[in-house]
Structure 1
Amino acid sequence: MRAVRERAQYIYNGVAPVVGDVLRRNGLRQLDIDVWAIHPGGPKILLESARSLGLLQGAASTSWGVLAEYGNMSSVSLIFVLERIADQAGVDKPISTGVAFSFAPGVTIEGFVFDVVRR
């Protein structure tokens, strides 16, 4: 149980600085992000990631939906989230900007900025 608490604390402490750095390097601010693709590795991961970023409830709803439907499928989980986002995001906008991130062993955070372009 201690390992779970420590991992949750690492996620809470680590997500915002890493995502903030990725956004700055791309000339973006958190307010510029329309969609969030968070690796649905479990409730604690989603809760602590959203809490770290100060996201409003519902901002990670696509990730929660994938977790509820499929559970944690390891690294492929994020692809399922991205697929849903591509189908749903910003249908009223020509371009939706998003951030995706997941976690690797040792609580390494990896992520990227993406655009969903509507035609």
Structure 2
Amino acid sequence: MKYILILLIAIHLSACITTPQVKSSEVAPAQNYQFAGDDESTKITGLLEKYGNDWAYHGAFLTVKIGNEEVIVRKPVDRYNFSGEVGGNTYRDKKVSASCIGYAVTDRWTDVHCTVFVGNEQTVTLTF
């Protein structure tokens, strides 16, 4: 009995510290944004990796890329409705952040909209 209890505790602990399994990866359509002072627009893209087990999602990681720079890299979004504020690196010496809101479509599907900010400037809204 003692050994079974130790084994169960070890299994539970290993399940708690393992990297979550990505259940689906969703790429938002690329959008162009023209920053003040630029002659050309810059492409902004995003990747949302929802993770969980076979029957439920348990959260998501967001990656945002502006031009060729990954500025928000695998930052967690709220585990229940994929909503929240996430921040990353900087782009042109301005902090980059995203404000995400999840909209439940069904009991198994949520659309996610993330508005990307560079400094105080609202740029694009990525839809997953």
TM exceeds 0.5?
Answer: no
Query: Which structure carries more helix by proportion?
Result: 1
User: TM range, normalised to the smaller chain?
Assistant: 0.3 to 0.5
TM-score normalised by structure 2 residue count? 0.35
TM-score normalised by structure 1 residue count? 0.36
Larger Rg: 2
Query: Which structure carries more strand by proportion?
Result: 2
Instruction: Give the number of the structure with larger relative contact order, counting CA–CA contacts within 8 Å between residues 6 or more apart.
Output: 1
